[in-house]
């Protein structure tokens, strides 16, 4: 009897988007003054010394940390949610540190027990990992931006994202209230990706846990928070989940068995990052200045900026196919993300990140104005 053959999981997943723009990357890199990479959105600014000191101090700890994180970390997260975003009423036990929010999002449908064949709703223009997480769980995916579009269907799980990656769109309080009311009335779990909540520029961005949205009832709600953008900690893989205590407890039980433990030094660094607001404000100002420069330069080059009220990106279009615009910019040494990465509705936009040094941003501005 021959051994059973493994079924490649990756066969059921879409192409990894960044692999599809290697040609544009090569063209942009060939520019005489070098590439300006505004594609991925990876932080380039220094990690604040207060965080680095905490990381170093935590490196002496020799034992296994707890999957739930230290009480001090959970307390710091609760305090930061209240102080920075007006989210009160979150219990310390309703906080769960995660080893990078991308991995957490990809695993949530499986870890929450979404059945194979069940429906998972994601935004029409969406961060690709929502779809990947649903497919890994064997679920069906529906792109929809309103509950009306669902008709009689009742999904097992719904992802929302405000401020949005890639569009920078902010969902208002009325919209969020309708989503919460609809979901809680049907027993649908809502996962709200709020990784850009602290980078609202033109509109106020609210957490799904904000009492103005949910009335203090966190039933069926999970908010996803990351320190990658606000504190330049992408390499630390530092994030946390907050919300419905029963759901957080279930996720904790699963992650204990899987050994998903955040390293203790990273936990200490997170405490410092969540406690200190000065470095967050300084980084926000850096992004504000870069955003104003790039926005003006894009508009001078004939682009229209849509949405983009918040976040680390400009969602822009020249009316052309996103791949044609990708090539147009690559010829000028500027690399961006084509909008079709994020679903068919993004096929005529590009996403331009604010995450480049001031010198590289100025180079992009000069090329666009030329």
Residues 353 and 312 sit within 8 Å (Cβ to Cβ): yes
Q: What is residue 24's predicted lDDT score, i.e. its pLDDT?
A: 97
CATH 3.40.640.10 assigned to 59-275 = yes
Q: How far apart are CA 131 and CA 313, in angstroms?
A: 21
**pTM of the predicted model, to two decimals?**
0.94
- Asked whether the beta carbons of 301 and 321 are under 8 A apart, the reply is no
Find the Cα–Cα–Cα–Cα dihedral 39, 137, 97, 63, rounded to 10°. Answer: -110
Q: What are the contacts of 82-86 at 24+ separation with CB within 8 A?
A: 83/277, 84/198, 84/277, 84/280, 85/197, 85/198, 85/206, 85/207, 85/210, 86/207, 86/210, 86/211
User: Residue 189 has which token pair?
Assistant: 């779990």
Pairing of strands 334-335, 36-37: parallel
Q: Which residue has the tokens 């961005």?
A: 205
Q: Which residues of the chain have pLDDT under 50?
A: 1
What are the residue ranges spanned by the domains of the chain? 15-46+279-369, 59-275
Provide the pLDDT for residue 3. Answer: 59
pLDDT digits (tens, 9 = 90+) for 52-72: 999 999 999 999 999 999 999
> Tokens standing for 229?
């953008």
What would the two tokens of residue 119 be?
A: 């429906």
Three-state DSSP class for residue 122 = strand
Please say whether the dihedral angle defined by the alpha carbons of residues 61, 67, 70 and 74, taken in this order, is positive or negative: positive
Which pLDDT belongs to residue 132? 96
- Estimate to the nearest angstrom the gap between the alpha carbon of 149 and the chain centroid: 24
Other CB atoms closer than 10 Å to residue 150's CB: what's the count? 17
CATH of domain 15-46+279-369: 3.90.1150.10
C-alpha separations of 332 from 8, 25, 350 in Å: 39, 11, 15
């Amino acid at each position: 009897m021959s051994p059973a053959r493994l079924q490649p999981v990756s066969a059921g997943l879409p192409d990894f988007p960044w692999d599809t723009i290697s040609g544009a990357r090569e063209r942009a890199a060939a520019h005489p003054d070098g590439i300006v990479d505004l594609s991925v959105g990876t932080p380039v600014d220094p990690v604040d010394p207060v965080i680095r000191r905490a990381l170093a101090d935590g490196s002496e700890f020799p034992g296994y940390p707890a999957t739930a994180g230290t009480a001090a970390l959970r307390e710091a997260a609760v305090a930061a949610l209240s102080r920075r975003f007006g989210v009160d009423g979150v219990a310390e036990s309703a906080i769960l540190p995660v080893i990078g929010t991308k991995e957490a999002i990809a695993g949530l449908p499986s870890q929450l027990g979404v059945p194979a064949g069940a429906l998972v709703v994601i935004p029409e223009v969406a961060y690709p990992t929502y779809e990947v997480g649903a497919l890994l769980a064997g679920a069906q995916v529906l792109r929809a931006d309103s509950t009306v579009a669902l008709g009689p269907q009742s999904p097992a799980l719904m992802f929302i994202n405000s401020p949005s990656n890639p569009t920078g769109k902010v969902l208002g309080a009325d919209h969020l209230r309708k989503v919460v009311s609809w979901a809680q009335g049907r027993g649908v779990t809502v996962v709200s990706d709020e990784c850009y909540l602290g980078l609202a520029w033109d509109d106020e961005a609210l957490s799904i846990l904000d009492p103005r949205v949910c009335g203090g009832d966190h039933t069926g709600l999970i908010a996803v928070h990351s320190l990658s953008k606000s504190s330049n900690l992408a390499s630390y893989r530092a994030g946390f989940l907050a919300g419905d205590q029963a759901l957080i407890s279930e996720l904790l039980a699963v992650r204990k068995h899987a050994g998903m433990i955040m390293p203790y030094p990273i936990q200490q660094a997170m405490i410092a990052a969540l406690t200190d607001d000065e470095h967050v404000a300084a980084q926000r100002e850096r992004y504000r200045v870069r955003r104003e420069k790039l926005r003006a330069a894009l508009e001078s080059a004939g682009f229209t900026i849509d949405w983009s009220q918040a976040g680390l990106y400009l969602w822009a279009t020249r009316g052309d196919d996103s791949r044609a615009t990708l090539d147009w910019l690559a010829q000028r040494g500027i690399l961006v993300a084509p909008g079709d990465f994020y679903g068919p509705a993004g096929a005529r936009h590009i996403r331009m990140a604010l995450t480049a040094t001031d010198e590289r941003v100025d180079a992009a501005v000069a090329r666009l104005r030329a």
